Amino acid sequence: MTAGIPRTAHTGLPETGMGMGMEPESGTAAGGLDARVTVRRGQFVLAVDLHVAQGETVAVLGRSGAGKSTLLRTLAGLLPLDEGRITLAGQVLDDPAQRRFVPSERRPVGVVFQDYLLFPHLRARDNVAFGLRARLGQGRRHARDRADSWLERFGIGELGDRRPGALSGGQGQRVALARALATEPRLLLLDEPLAALDSTTRGEVRTFLRTVLPTLSAPVLIVTHDPTDAEVLADRTIALEAGRVAQA
Amino acid sequence: MTSPGGTPLPWTAPAQRAVTGSRLSFRSRNRSGRGPADAPDGHDTLPARGPARRPRIRPSGRTARRETRRRAPWALWVPGVIAALFLLLPLVGLLVRAPWSGLPDLITEHDVREALFLSLETATAATALSLVFGIPLAWLLARTRFPGRSLLRALVTLPLVLPPVVGGVALLLALGRRGIVGQHLDAWFGITLPFTTAGVVVAQTFVAMPFLIVSVEGALNSADRRFEDAAATLGAGPWTTFRRVTVPLVAPAVAAGAALCWARALGEFGATITFAGNFPGSTTTMPLAVYLALETDSDAAIALSLVLLAVCVAVLAALRARWFPGVRRLLRGRASRETPLTVGPEEGTR
């Protein structure tokens, strides 16, 4: 699926004044993510060019404070761009120059948060059904059935009645992934998917992600500080340092 | 990467890892070049990070507390016991002097039942009003930024410390027949609030709503807002997020605030008698009936007080029960809940 798509991740960005204007980015498949991200936070500037093709998994590697989470938040629509443009599957999600900003709740983007952020007051099933009801507007019963089949698919069908507090780290990860994928996102973002786990569970979840991620047609972006995770899970790695791409 | 003998050496593994490319180069570049010192902290880019604000110092603190509890000094024991006696003695007096034999007759009297039901109704109505209007205000104070927000927060909680009689006078000036708003209510809609049952509810709401606001706003401030982010990424708009995520997450605080609010409304005296007067059947609530009875028939006053006491004990028991964990927290640690009242440093920087 990724064949024929030039894997262009711009390494050096111009320091100031994005000289790229509004010309369309080349080398992006119709279903892919195309992002030119500039965010300023006081002294800190995040300036990243990012292209993720459909079916491709890209890891963004960097230390804490490198801007990984900021990048992820801009893509998820939780943080508006200061400059640049985010296009997903041909749809412009954020373009401050044209005053376009699609808020988080209307972006076809699924996010697995660092410590999963499963709603503690809802059972695992209802956590997964939440997005089905909110984004896809499904009825309660239908959404629950769908949620159950997602849990089933991830091998935790019997845990639907549990609340997040009664789930292990690995199980929580699976519920979080099911919840994110159930809304049929056209981009999946994983924020430090393995950081919250102990070493035993890490291996298990890593294996799990390795089997699931390649089956997705949507582009996947993994944010991590662990080079091993990046290598194992992603087709391609981008290193982020102090808000810039350091290595493609 | 093996020893000459062919067996893997224990220290070869790390070296092997280092050689596998990107890992090593990545780390070494970081060390030599723009290191972590240049990089801003994570919370600069993620302002809503919950765990970062709460350093984990609990275990040590808990053990320290347990040790001091074991060896309580006399200087604290003596005044502490005096305080407990002082608080309990009046209740004992009430129970000792109660006209137990005539109690059933006194309590089932028409006036008493009327006052009791009026009190229960108005306190419940005041609590309902406080929930409907107080939770949104708490949310606005906790989640939005607008000029004068800190001042508004301080003013909103003013009825907590204001003498209720002053509140009653203020209500008269605002909503009375000649009040700045009340005159229009009267002229345009024919609505008269003072000296009516609705006026009782208004007075009770005025005095009690701040309890709910303070409780809910404190919980909203300490809630992890990333759950709301998660809800947004799942397609929930602001209203859905509020209903299905925010409110359930602070539900214990809502329950606690509502219970305190109800108890405060039930006991309301000063604002009620000032704003709504004392008309049996329409504005004479239990506290007013107690006061009224004390002037004529002290036995009736004691009986009425016992009824109120029983209601309050029942409420307190409900609060201590499992389904109100928030109240227990609130009752146990008032000081920590008081903080949202003051303008903390975090408000200033946001």
What are the extents of the domains in chain A? 122-183
Beta-carbon neighbour count of residue A200 at 10 Å? Answer: 10
Cβ <8 Å between B40 and A43: yes
Least confident stretch, A131-140, A239-248, B234-243 = A239-248
Place A41 in a pLDDT band, splitting at 50, 70 and 90.
confident
Contact (CB<8Å) B44/A65: yes
Report the mean per-residue pLDDT for chain A: 84
CB contact under 8 Å between B23 and A228, yes or no, is yes
Averaged pLDDT for residues B39-56: 41
Q: Which structure tokens are listed for B45?
A: 């880019």
pLDDT digits (tens, 9 = 90+) for B9-47: 333 333 333 333 333 333 333 333 333 433 344 333 333
Contacts of A42 in chain B (CB under 8 A): 40, 44
A61 lies within 8 A of chain B by CB: yes
Give the minimum alpha-carbon distance from B132 to chain A in angstroms, rounded to a whole number.
22
B318 pLDDT above the threshold of 50: yes
pLDDT digits (tens, 9 = 90+) for B96-155: 888 888 888 887 888 888 898 999 999 999 999 999 999 999 999 999 999 999 999 999
Give the closest residue to B25 by CA, choosing from A1, A24, A61, A203: A61
pLDDT surpasses 90 at B60: no
Residue A236, pLDDT score: 92
Distance from CA of A180 to the nearest CA of B (A): 7
Question: pLDDT by residue (tens digit) across B151-187?
Answer: 999 999 899 899 999 999 999 999 988 889 988 888 8
What would the mean pLDDT of A76-84 be, rounded to a whole number?
93
Residues of A whose CB is below 8 A from B233: 76-78, 104-105, 107, 109-111, 180
Provide the pLDDT for residue B326.
52
User: Of the candidates B39, B226, B235, which has its C-beta nearest A105's C-beta?
Assistant: B235
DSSP string, B230-243: HHHHTT--HHHHII
Q: What is the pTM of this model?
A: 0.73
Question: Shortest CA distance to A33 belongs to which of A2, A12, A64?
Answer: A2
Point out the residue among A41, A183, A246 whose CB comes nearest to the CB of B44.
A41
Instruction: List pLDDT tens digits, range B274-305.
Output: 999 999 889 999 999 999 888 888 888 888 88
Domains of chain B: 123-341 (1.10.3720.10)
pLDDT over 80 at B337, yes or no = no
Question: Which residues, 6+ apart, have CB-to-CB distance to B157 below 8 Å?
Answer: B210, B213, B214, B341
Q: Do B42 and A65 touch (CB under 8 A)?
A: yes
The residue of B45, B243, B246, B350 whose CB has the most chain A CBs within 10 angstroms, and thus the best one to mutate to test that interface, is: B45
The rounded percent of chain B whose pLDDT value lies above 70 is 71
Look-up: residue for tokens 């990048």? A71
Confidence of residue A118 (pLDDT cuts 50, 70, 90): very high
